[in-house]
Structure 1
Amino acid sequence: MSNLVSRNFTNPQERFYTTDPAQNLKSFIEKGDLHFLSEFNGIFPNFISKVKSASSKLNAMDIKFCVLLKMGFSTKEIASVTKSTIRAVQSRKYRIRKRLGVPKDEDLNLFMVTFS
C-alpha cells in the first residue's frame, strides 16, 4: 500500500514538466496556473510588447487571448481554459482581429502563431 502511495503521489507537479518548454507552458495554462505568463515571456520575450504596440486598444483579456492563440489553442480549448462559451471566444477573436487590423481573409490563429 505504501508503495502505491509513494509511486502515485510523490511529486504531483512532476507530470507537468517535460523537456519541451512550450508543452510545459500549455500544461500551466490548462491547469490555470498564473506562472504561465512568466514562462511565456521566457519563450517568446517580445511577443506581448509587440502585440501591445500593434494596438493600444487591446485590453488585458485581449492580450491573454493573443497569448493563447500564439500557443496554438483552438477556440474550443480557449473557451475551456477561460471558462467562457465558444460564441464568446469567437466574439473576442473578432474584436481582436478588428483592433489589430487583421484582414478578413487571413486566419487569426495563423496570424498570431506567426506574429513576432
Structure 2
Amino acid sequence: MKLRNDDDTYYRSYSNLLGAMIDFRQNGKLRLVHVNGLNNRQRERYNRARASQWESERSALQQQGRALVLKAESEHKTVIILMVALVAVLILAVAIWIIRHRRQRERENEERAEALQKMVDELKSAPSPQPTTEPAPAALRRAMLQQLGIIKMVAEAPTEQNRDMLRKISSIESDTGGELVNWNNVFELINTLYSGFYAKLHSTYGETLIPKEEQIIVLMMAGFSTKEISVITGQTTSTIYVRKSSIRKKLGVPGKEDIVAFLRERFGD
C-alpha cells in the first residue's frame, strides 16, 4: 500500500525518533543524523501548517473582498435606480404642471372668447336707439363693443393685412400704445357720462393705483363683467381677480362691499 507524502513524512518522523532511541539504548550514543532528521521533519510539518493557515486566511480575505465588491456594486445599482426614479418623478411632475398650465390657459382663452362672442352677439341683437335717448351706460357699452367687434374679426383671421388694418383703425384718432382700446377716449367718456368719475378717481388715488387698476375700476363702473374686462384689457380672469383684491386693499374697501358703490359714495355721486 502506497502512503501519501504527508503520511509518509509523519511516520518517518517517528521512525527516526525510534531509531535514535534504539541506538542510544544499544550503544549509549545518540546519532546526530537521527536528531537532525527528526528536527527537519518537525520543521517541515510546522511550515506546512503555517502555509495552510496562510492559505486559509488568504482565501477568507478573498471571499470577504468579493463580498464587499458585490455589496458595493449592489449599493451602486440601488443609488442609480433611486436617481433614475427621482428624475422620472421630476419629469412627470414637470409634464403634469405643463399640461395643467396649458389646459388652464386654453380654458381661460375659451372663456375670453365666449365673453367676446357674447358681447358681439349683444351688439348685433341690440336695437339702434337714438343718441339723445340712449342711456349713458348703454352708449359707453356700444362704443366699446364696436371696437371689440372689429378686434374679434381680426383675431378670427390674424393675417398680416388684417393686423395692419387694425393698427390703422386704432391710430385714426390717436396712438393706443399697443392697447386694444384708446383709454384716453374711454376716460373722457366716463367723465362725461358719470359726472367726472375718472377725474375724481385719478386725483384721489392716482398715486396709489396703477393704470391697470384704474382701467378695471372704470370698466366696472360701466357695468362690464370680469370676463368682459379680461377681454378688453388683454388679461386673464385670474389676473383680474387678483387686481380686484389689490384694489380693495389699497382703497380700504370692506370685503362684502361693492368697489364701485364704495367709490361713488366716497365721491358723493
Q: 1:29 to 1:17 in 2, by over 3 A?
A: farther
Query: In 1, distance between residues paired with 2:253 and 2:190?
Result: 23
Q: Given that residues 190 and 198 in structure 2 are in contact (C-alpha distance below 8 angstroms), is that contact kept between their aligned partners in structure 1?
A: no
Q: Unpaired segments of 5 or more residues in structure 2?
A: 1-127, 148-179
Q: Choose 86-95 or 74-83, whichever is displaced more.
A: 74-83
Q: Does 1:21 align with 2:136?
A: yes
> Which residue in the other structure is 1:42 paired with?
192
| RMSD over aligned Cα atoms | 2.5
> Which residue in the other structure is 2:221 paired with?
70
TM-score by length of 2: 0.33
Q: Choose 104-113 or 87-96, whichever is displaced more.
A: 104-113
Deviations 1:48-94 (A, max 9, x none): 23323443311222111110111111111111111211100001111
Q: Choose 35-44 or 50-59, whichever is displaced more.
A: 50-59
Q: 1:16 to 1:60 in 2, by over 3 A?
A: farther
Amino acid at match of 1:60: P
CA shift, 1:113, in A, is 6.4
Q: 1:114 to 1:50 in 2, by over 3 A?
A: same
Q: Which has the higher contact order (CA 8 A, sep 6+)?
A: 1
Q: 1:17 to 1:66 in 2, by over 3 A?
A: farther
Amino acid at match of 2:196: N
Query: In 2, distance between residues paired with 1:109 and 1:41?
Result: 15
Q: Given that residues 70 and 113 in structure 1 are in contact (C-alpha distance below 8 angstroms), is that contact kept between their aligned partners in structure 2?
A: no
Q: Given that residues 97 and 108 in structure 1 are in contact (C-alpha distance below 8 angstroms), is that contact kept between their aligned partners in structure 2?
A: yes
Q: Given that residues 79 and 85 in structure 1 are in contact (C-alpha distance below 8 angstroms), is that contact kept between their aligned partners in structure 2?
A: yes
Amino acid at match of 2:232: V
> Which residue in the other structure is 1:9 paired with?
none
Identity %: 28
> Which residue in the other structure is 1:103 paired with?
254
> Which residue in the other structure is 2:85 paired with?
none
> Which residue in the other structure is 2:40 paired with?
none
Q: 1:16 to 1:86 in 2, by over 3 A?
A: farther
Query: In 2, distance between residues paired with 1:33 and 1:16?
Result: 23
Deviations 1:18-73 (A, max 9, x none): 52232121122332542332221111233123323443311222111110111111
Query: In 2, distance between residues paired with 1:74 and 1:51?
Result: 20
Query: In 2, distance between residues paired with 1:97 and 1:16?
Result: 36
Query: In 2, distance between residues paired with 1:113 and 1:75?
Result: 19
Aligned residues: 102
Greater helix content: 2
